[in-house]
Amino acid sequence: MLDRLNPPTTADTLIAALERDGVVVLPPMLAPEALSGLQQSFERVLERPTFNTWSGYEQNEKWRVLVENALTVDPAVVRLALHPLLKSVLRGYIGSGYALTEARGWRTIRAMTDFHGWHTDAWYDEDAVDPVRRPRQIKLGMYLTDVESGHFSYITGSHNRGMIARHWSPREVDPMHASRSDILGKAGTAFLFDTAGIHRQTAPVLTPRHVLFLNFHNPSVPIQALDKDYGRYRPLLLNAAFLPRSLDDEDCAILGFGADKDRPASQCVVGRSEVRRYPWLHGAVKLALAARLEAQEVQRRCREIVSGVGRRLGRAG
């Protein structure tokens, strides 16, 4: 069990913990008022799904609803991504070329089903990367609700084993449980982990869990084909009003300013992935919306006809 009550507080100690364990709990990263504002903004996004002129959550599976483009949700997300302590840690662990490559969160609904097993993250093109010098990717997780079930678990030290990215069965992981670290905590609890290590969200989830994840790696690393197809790690969407006026060159690089100027425009537009989930559903919604708009047009024309007839009858009388 990681020490959640007395986490390391300096960049050097946090880096050392990441090097050794692959996971570390962070000291408080947001002021109480900033955390409260982020929680309220997150709740508002979760009120309804994204559709047509609505901006809300997205959903690709039964158990989780996604809050994408988190940098447009609340200014606290920008502050978190550019936190001085976090920048020092990531600079030391990944290197100076790192950037924020994904900012998203989700609500995990109450679930007794074990739907999210042990795994290591796949993200880069293994055929284009030196297997001896695997690139590093770090995720920052932050709970936005109190989490006492359905928490994050990590097999400490597993990030240093040079494993290929895949899912792991409980039988394979059971002998490693002496190295298992469970992260439970109040809203605002934040942690970093190397995605090359074995990790998961545990089950059951007895109360809905809100969590924010920020993903950091060097954007020059070739991305695996699957993530290209689904449009992951595209340029980030930003709310200009959330950006501090004091952005320096490092901050701009972290947020990806200008990093994609030499890429085709088709690769720089969010929401235009090559592969769509549930295309039949999108087609059905498109047809339903078209039918509704056509019905409205018919109603408008009928009202015009009735009104015209009424005017003519009035003049005739």
CATH number (domain holding residue 111): 2.60.120.620
Higher per-residue confidence, 36 vs 317: 36
State pLDDT tens for residues 115-137: 889 999 999 999 998 877 889 99
What is the percent of the chain where pLDDT is above 70? 94
Q: Is the pLDDT of residue 78 over 70?
A: yes
Q: Residue 238 domain-assigned?
A: yes
For residue 204, the cross-strand partners are none
- Radius of gyration from C-alpha coordinates of the chain: 24
Q: Residue 312 domain-assigned?
A: no
Higher per-residue confidence, 236 vs 188: 188
State pLDDT tens for residues 232-284: 888 899 999 999 999 999 999 999 998 666 667 767 777 667 777 788 888 89
Report the mean per-residue pLDDT for the chain.
91
Q: Residue 230 domain-assigned?
A: yes
Q: Residue 299 domain-assigned?
A: no
Q: Residue 74 domain-assigned?
A: yes
Q: Residue 28 domain-assigned?
A: yes
State pLDDT tens for residues 63-76: 999 999 999 999 99
State pLDDT tens for residues 91-112: 999 999 999 999 999 999 999 9
Q: What is the mean pLDDT of residues 58-87?
A: 96
Residues 6+ apart with CB under 8 A from 258: 252
What confidence category does residue 164 fall into, taking pLDDT thresholds of 50, 70 and 90?
A: confident
Residue 186's pLDDT is 97
Q: Cα–Cα distance between 152 and 150 in angstroms, integer?
A: 7
Q: In terms of DSSP H, where are the helices of 10-131?
A: 11-21, 32-45, 75-81, 84-93
Q: Residue 224 domain-assigned?
A: yes
Count up the domains in the chain and report the number.
1
Q: How many CB atoms lie within 10 A of CB 292?
A: 10
Alpha carbon dihedral 297, 298, 300, 303, in 10-degree steps, equals 180
Q: Is the pLDDT of residue 156 over 60?
A: yes
Q: Residue 240 domain-assigned?
A: yes
What confidence category does residue 3 fall into, taking pLDDT thresholds of 50, 70 and 90?
A: low
CB 210 within 8 A of CB 143: yes
Residue 163's pLDDT is 85
Name the token pair of 43: 């709740």
Instruction: Identify the domain containing residue 119 by its residue range.
Output: 11-277
